Amino acid sequence: MKPREAIQNLQPGDHVYFMRENGDEIIVSLLEDGLRKNQLCCYIGDHISMLEKELKNKGHQLEFLHPEDIIKKGFDPLHAITILKEYVKKAEEGGFSGLRVVQEMSWISRKVPGWKKYIEYEELLTALCSQHNVVAVCCYGSQIPADVLLQAVTIHPLALVQKALCKNFYYLPESVREDPSSIMVMYGEYLTKCQHTGELEFLAAVVEEVMEAVIITDNQGMIIYVNPAACSMFQYSKEELEGQRVNILNSKNSQVTFQEIIKGKRDWKGEMLAIKRDGNRFPLWLRTSAVHNEKGEITAFISVARDITEQKETEEKLQRYALLLEMKVREKTRSTETLLKTSYALRSTSDWKKGTEIITRGIIEGLGFDRTAVFFVNEHDQVLECKGQLNMSDALLRVNLPLTDDRYAAVRCVTDKRPLLVKDVLTDPRVKAHLKEEVKEFVWVPILFQSEVLGAIEADKKWSQNPIEPEDVDMLELYANQIAEFIERTRLVVKPEVELQVSTPLKYDLELQEVYLIEEEKSEKAFDIFVDLVKHGFKGFGICRTHPQKIREKYGLERTPVMWLSEIESKQLEHVGSQDLPKLIYLVAEFVKRAQPAVIILEGLEYLMVQNDFKNVLKLVYTLSDYVATSQSVLLLPVNPHVLPAHEHTMLKRAFTVVSEPDEQ
């Protein structure tokens, strides 16, 4: 019997199970048959637009309903039946011979809330068909799990399978279905019949298209049926499997085997390590049910198997992601803790050199970078200068990058006022020149206070070779903010003050824009010159190794600012550290901008040389000399020539104007 002929045999009251294959031809035929019989036809499914084209000009007799209209808030069987009853009423009032419902059940695979109540719905639909002139055809597809399909078979009185409309051998009335043992008895009777006759066509038609593997064995573990999905899963033909021991399908390394399940004589579900014909092993999820006859004897086992390779791989990925996330959380926690420690450490000092060391150490310990360096903007020379580094070469400390040379990533970062992450320095078009210390991948982050660019931080992962992630850049910006706030908090602006003037003539007539190297064992002449100038109109600023209070008392200075050159930090006394050369430069530079004419005395040059490398001190003095040379200022450098090495003394004498102890200006 052809499908169309089977469809023509549908009668009012029929509730039919249909295992739908690919294509919509049967759906169209089901609706066309209802139209010919003057039935109001209602299609519930996802192919409405296609059917409207196929069945055009039938609008008065056709109703279309999308599954979402029924299940949008979850599936409620009573609500669904109520909708169908409205169509029954419409069919009666419209003079139709009855109602035909063709519905796609594929929505079950979406597992919307309440989807398991489909059994209750099918039972109510059976009652609706028998009480009214209703024909209902429920179309189940291969995307629906095998156990759901097998259960669905039991709740339809009729089935459209193998091109035939026939009584459903599997149909179980509701009263019988409530007793699980009765179900197994009926399955057992049918399977026993199948074993004697060799006819499994009906069962095969039900599970032929399902995606899960279905395996039926006798009570000794001999395979009596496999569906195509099982053949595909295990890479055997149907003929090769049927008649074989079922243990051929499980790996010897599996913790449980088919034969052990069968010997257990009970239902079982769990994971099994299966094996394909080519020897490849794979994990599967297995659910096995024993089938009993009327005597309670086991006659067969039905197993539904699903390959869970992708699921296991996904689980492993999720485990790796969970581990990675845990590591990220730990890293984030460590980064946050280190950032807080860095913040507290910065509050305990006003020394720029120490502050830079705290920042670089925090970046290495807290963010996982291998190396880092801090550069500051030198506005006077319009260059970027390295003022601190960790795990890089000291040669970097001698690097000055012109702020006009945007070939460098550092300069571009400062100019654009935003981070610059370079993944490959050789191919990145933004970088046309690079520092010797820069590796393939690195990042520059600007040090910003409000809109002012103070400098930039460079960091890389040279040794670990780990990629620099966006969150690394975000955290590095927090460290840049820390150092910006630290600089802003600790950079003092020394206010120029006019000292009480005297009427006596100026004793020392010095040229402006000059640095004077005053050679003497004690700094008496240097202070005599300094006091003479400040009491004759110069605005003075002293950075002295001698305690400021002693200087004020000895020389009668009441208003002139004097800062202590010392490693001892005190809230009661303004000071600058002997190694904090950047801050010392900043203080002098800012002072000469605001004071004209100005005189600065730097007492303690020998102390600076002890605390620092001579080259760094010489560079400091040269930088101060540049500021003096471009302003109406004088810089006094008292020095004891007897304590300096000869070559260092010679270099200072060549660079600056010398005032010897016997001489008098």
Q: How many CA atoms lie within 13 A of 517 on its CB side?
A: 20
- pLDDT score of 22 more than 70: no
pLDDT band at 183 (very low <50, low <70, confident <90, very high): very low
Rg over alpha carbons for the chain, rounded to the nearest Å, is 46
Average pLDDT over residues 439-448: 94
Answer whether 331's CB lies under 8 Å from 227's CB.
no
Going along the chain from its start, the domains and CATH numbers come out as 3-174 (3.40.50.300), 193-307 (3.30.450.20), 319-489 (3.30.450.40), 514-659 (3.40.50.300)
What pLDDT, on the 0 to 100 scale, is given for residue 2?
Answer: 55
Angle at Cα 134 formed by Cα 133 and Cα 140, nearest 5°?
A: 165
% of the chain with per-residue pLDDT over 70: 90
How high does pLDDT run on average in the chain? 86
What pLDDT, on the 0 to 100 scale, is given for residue 602?
Answer: 97
Tokens of 414: 């400062």
pLDDT, one tens digit per residue, over 44-82 is: 998 888 888 888 777 789 999 999 888 888 899 999 999
Ranked by mean pLDDT, the top range of 67-81, 306-320, 374-388, 596-610 is: 596-610
pLDDT, one tens digit per residue, over 465-524 is: 899 999 899 999 999 999 998 888 887 778 899 898 988 999 998 999 999 999 999 999
What pLDDT, on the 0 to 100 scale, is given for residue 38?
Answer: 93
User: Chain-centre distance of CA 658, in angstroms?
Assistant: 64
- pLDDT score of 558 more than 80: yes
pLDDT, one tens digit per residue, over 123-176 is: 999 999 999 999 999 988 877 777 777 778 778 888 886 566 777 766 776 655
Q: Tell me how far apart the alpha carbons of residues 149 and 130 are, in angstroms, rounded to a whole number.
A: 23
Q: Tell me how far apart the alpha carbons of residues 571 and 461 are, in angstroms, rounded to a whole number.
A: 39
pLDDT, one tens digit per residue, over 370-405 is: 999 999 998 888 999 898 899 998 888 788 899 999
Average pLDDT over residues 289-303: 87
Q: Where are the alpha helices (DSSP H) in 348-442?
A: 352-367, 409-416
What pLDDT, on the 0 to 100 scale, is given for residue 170?
Answer: 66
First to last CA, the chain: 130
Answer whether 18's CB lies under 8 Å from 166's CB.
no
What pLDDT, on the 0 to 100 scale, is given for residue 208?
Answer: 67
Peptide bond into 597 cis (omega under 30): yes
What pLDDT, on the 0 to 100 scale, is given for residue 550?
Answer: 94
- pLDDT score of 438 more than 80: yes
Tokens of 579: 């190694």
Give how far Cα 191 sits from Cα of 196, 277, 448, Å. 9, 28, 81
pLDDT band at 326 (very low <50, low <70, confident <90, very high): confident
| H or E element that contains 224 | strand 223-226
Residue whose pair of structure tokens reads 């040669």 in the numeric block: 395
For 156, phi then psi, to 5°, come to: -125, 125
pLDDT band at 198 (very low <50, low <70, confident <90, very high): very low
Q: Tell me how far apart the alpha carbons of residues 275 and 595 are, in angstroms, rounded to a whole number.
A: 90
What pLDDT, on the 0 to 100 scale, is given for residue 177?
Answer: 52
> Model-level pTM greater than 0.85?
no
